[in-house]
Chains A and B, each alone.
Chain A
Amino acid sequence: MLKKFLRFFFIDEVLREDIAFLKKVPLFRELSDRSLAKVALIIFKKTYLAGEKIYENNNEANVVYLVKSGQVNLLCGNINKVVEEEGFFGETSLIENAKRTCLATVLKDSELYLIYRAKFEDMVESNGKIGLIIMKNLASMFAARLKCSEV
């Protein structure tokens, strides 16, 4: 009873849910709960309707998108890729201030979590370890893509 009472008054359940979600996203693999909480605190949540355009070619890339629910279609040149729950896209924006090279459109009504690069960099600046782990995850994903293209 007391535990329930204390939980209700002191523990941020929304934050806990966000941490549980972030744990499943490959980009944040191996991060501790406390580090995930720091990531969760800089997230913006936004609901998109089916058919809505998220970004298109040549838009400035400042945000990485995590798919909480729904489906998003990425059209990069002639290649189509569908990103589903627990997936993410626009990750190059974490590395460089470049332009988008894909068209991202919502297939099914989706809830997306947005991480803005400047805020992410601020967080990494004060928590080098989080930055290192995320960059390691990104690097191994890019390496896997390169291997695939070699084959």
Chain B
Amino acid sequence: MTESAKNRVFIIAVILFLGCCLFLYLARAVLAPFLIAAFITYLISPIVTRIQAFGYKRYVGVTIVAAVLVSIFAEILIIVIPILINELENFQFNADRYYEYFLNYLGGIREKVESAFPVLKRYDISNAVISKSKDFLLYAAQQIPNYLANIFSVFSIMVLIPMLVFFMLLRGSKDLKSLVGLLPSNYIETVLSIVYQIDAIFGRYIRGQIIEAFFVGGMSALSLSVFGVNFALLIGVIAGLANLIPYLGPIVGLALAVVVGVAQYQTFAIVVKIVIAYAIIKFLDDNFIQPLVVGYNVNLRPVSMVFAMLAGGHIFGFLGVVFAVPVAAIFKAVFTMLLKRSPAENY
């Protein structure tokens, strides 16, 4: 291939890539079920492949895995949902009490601060801070159901996502295999390198995050029930879900547990216990679970990670935050790989 032809191919590839990005941005409202389906597919496709290795057709593996998952899901619904509903009802019942308690608590703090710094009273700064905080908390709380409703509509959960997962599992790597069959021989190794870089980062990240989410959620629920804190399971589930966003799970769990624990026991001792429990969870997660399940770091600096999550959240909402880190890691890996290639190779 001549130099100008190579440049043409490169320019066309960049234009196609930017076109795909623009299309995904415009279609972001309908992306959620597809992303969640891909997420679940990545998680369970190794099990299907293991069954296939016994010599069975792929759909046999898919059917077995689907049957097992449906029964586990039903089991969870039967056992966990009544407990969760009970906790949610209790939470609704107690929410006003907790809210009142915190307003009084904030009032107490305000009085102390104002007596220490009388200038605050003159400009009514404390009231402004408290009302802003209340507005922010109320806004954040009101947004949660909207987020959840957008992502997990009943149609998505009951029909679309399982159907998409089923078809994605059934296809397996057939599409990639057909693509390899069509590619000119010069490009095969490059394309496979890129695809497997993406596969390795995405697959390990997703599996790792899910296992971590279960660990953080389970340990939170367990330790909080040992301390007798109300809504242990609910807080565990929320901490587990929040853990899909790097760094966030233990922090959200800790914040919720402290709020509930303080309101319930009205002592400082419970805060110490909860903080120690979450410090242990975070320590175990960072030093044992993460190295074990993720296997290697996504190789992004914390600043890049936070920027990617904020940008992803701004453009694509909640799912943007969840998927920002692996996508940024993939960009980094692919560009590093392409830039590293020797000039002699040039394809």
Contact = CB atoms under 8 A, between A and B. Distances in A.
Contacts of A118: 193, 196-197, 200
Contacts of A38: 53
Q: Among B176, B189, B190, which residue has the most Cβ atoms of chain A within 10 A?
A: B189
A63 B180 CA distance: 13
B334 to A, nearest CB: 14
Given A10-B60, A59-B189, A119 B196 contact: yes
A58 interface: yes
Contacts of A15: 52, 55
Interface in A52-71: 52-55, 58-63
Interface stretch (B146-154, B253-261, B323-331, B338-346): B338-346
A60 B56 contact: no
Interface string A13-47: 00110010000000000000110011001001111
A114 interface: yes
A46 B188 contact: yes
Contacts of B344: 58
B186 interface: yes
B185 A53 contact: yes
A114 to B, nearest CB: 7
Interface size range of chain A in the complex: 20 to 34
Interface string B53-90: 11111101000000000000000000000000000000
A89 interface: no
Nearest to B340: A60
A132 interface: no
Interface in A86-111: 99
B42 to A, nearest CB: 14
Main SS of chain A's interface residues? mixed
A71 to B, nearest CB: 16
Q: Among B53, B56, B200, B341, which residue has the most Cβ atoms of chain A within 10 A?
A: B53
Nearest to A53: B185
Nearest to A90: B189
A42 B49 CA distance: 10
B145 interface: no
A115 to B, nearest CB: 10
Given A45-B177, A46-B181, A60 B55 contact: no
Given A11-B56, A15-B52, A116-B196, A45 B185 contact: no
Top 6 A-B residue pairs of the complex, sorted by shortest distance between their CB atoms: A118-B196, A37-B53, A44-B180, A12-B57, A116-B192, A62-B189
Interface of B: 49, 52-58, 60, 176-177, 180-181, 185-186, 188-190, 192-193, 196-197, 200, 341-342, 344-345
